[in-house]
Amino acid sequence: SKAPPSGGGGGFVFHYSDLSANDIARLVQRNVDPANEIRALVEEVIEHVKQNGDSALIDYAQKFDKVELTKLYLDRAELEEIASAVSEDQQEALQTAYANIYKFHKAQLKTEDKVETMPGVTCWRELRAIEKVGLYIPGGTAVLPSTFLMLGIPARIAGCSEIVVCSPPQKNGKVNAFIAYVALMLGINKVYLVGGSQAVAAMAYGTETITKVDKIFGPGNQFVTKAKTIIQSTTTTAIDMPAGPSEVLVIADRSAKPAYVAADLLAQAEHGIDSQSILVCTSQDIADKTLAEVQKQLAVLPRAEIAKQALDNSYIIITQDLDEAMNFSNEYAPEHLILATEQWKDLTPKIINAGSVFLGNLTPESAGDYASGTNHTLPTSSYARAYSGVSVDSFVKKITFQYLTEEGIQNIGPSVEILAEMEGLHAHRNAVSVRMGTNKNT
Ligand code: HSO
Ligand code: ZN
């Protein structure tokens, strides 16, 4: 096998045993730089929106979306009109997705027990919704109403009091019918016709018509992602995570079906030219059969051009066994991990880094992308090492509380006094002593 190119490039087959630690580090590196060249452009957009508010947004709609907007949002009546184009079949599918996503996320809302850490000292946590959240729904080469469900449902379950939604306008100055329909399902009566980094800036700074929010959610192109990382460090608005191009890693052994594996790799590849589809398999034979299937299925895909470029940016690793495959996967820390093997039960405990996992041969990523219930807003670019995907947790704060009784202050007081003394912080010591009746100054 060839030596891995620098920068994680692909279109190659590698044997795991040939790879040095350095080779692996290079292979798992992705999305390293691209955003840096666009920082200046994005900073200019943010500044323009900050200074000029709505009028900047109207300018950018003309410049980037090629549409003359007279109003920056669609109201409920307009959304209803647009949504009426959604067929009955489509409505039913959206409702199935909604119901499953709702059910799975609702179960995440748990009340924690109060803990008496010592007699009379009780500590606990309570959830409070983040008040104002901003959802960015992309509308580039693929419009993703499923992303709207994935963000809107947990926001509703958490109980956020204001949900601001931005999505780029189409050429006709509207959003697509599915986006409008999902807005109505979620009880959202306004969709702002703002896309790209200008949408992020508008939600972070606020404009005449758009409310400044506390946290911004949603995937986007490099401009959107760059804008999110900039506003995260320059404003008080938080972000969900720095989500980059989508990726999948499939671990396959002899029990995998090449046609299924190929379909999964292609489902990822059709997202965008910068997507990555990695196959880690236990023999050359599996790799060959899968590649043949990929060629066959690719030939008839409407988005074949996009998928082909993404596959050129991808690679295959051949390992001795499933344990080696899992080692590589944990190094890669994939957004999506598919275990295309009947041995998935043995492998699952060995997963250390992954965003969302799909078990066995009958569980395609597409199920989770749309409708099984799990969230598809997930950490990419190896952020799965430290980040979780979006959930109800992402829309709440967990506030700690404590309550001390007379017995409690007497129990904890002496330790706190000594600890405060250790740090030379006498006011801290006194705050306890006055309550215990041991303050030497009173
Ligand atoms: N795989 C994408 C989600 C998605 N797929 C939306 C289809 N539509 C990121 O997890
Ligand atoms: Zn997808």
150 lines ligand 1 (CB under 6 A): no
246 lines ligand 1 (CB under 6 A): yes
Residues 6 or more apart whose CB falls under 8 angstroms from that of 362 comprise: none
- Examine the residue annotation and report whether 336 is marked as an active-site residue of this protein: yes
For ligand 1, atom 5, name the residue with the nearest CA: 369
- Best mutation site among 178, 246, 381, 390 for ligand 1 pocket (most ligand atoms within 8 Å of CB): 246
- Best mutation site among 141, 150, 225, 376 for ligand 1 pocket (most ligand atoms within 8 Å of CB): 376
- Examine the residue annotation and report whether 335 is marked as an active-site residue of this protein: yes
pLDDT of residue 143: 85
User: Active site residue: 247, 270, 293, 335, which one?
Assistant: 335
pLDDT of residue 1: 43
pLDDT of residue 242: 83
For ligand 1, atom 3, name the residue with the nearest CA: 369
pLDDT of residue 157: 98
> Judging by beta carbons within 10 Å of its beta carbon (0-12, 13-18, 19+), is residue 91 exposed, middle or buried?
middle
**Average pLDDT per 10 consecutive residues for the chain, totaling 442 residues:** 45 92 94 73 96 98 94 98 98 98 96 96 98 92 90 98 96 94 98 97 98 95 91 96 90 98 97 94 97 97 96 96 98 98 98 98 98 97 96 98 98 98 98 86 50
State in Å: Cα 269 to ligand 2 middle. Answer: 9
State in Å: Cα 436 to ligand 1 middle. Answer: 58
Q: Which residue has the tokens 């200019």?
A: 44
376 lines ligand 1 (CB under 6 A): yes
Query: Does the complex come out with an ipTM higher than 0.90?
Result: yes
User: Active site residue: 293, 336, 365, 376, which one?
Assistant: 336
pLDDT of residue 222: 84
pLDDT of residue 35: 58
- pTM for the model stands at 0.94
pLDDT of residue 5: 46
- Best mutation site among 151, 182, 271 for ligand 1 pocket (most ligand atoms within 8 Å of CB): 271
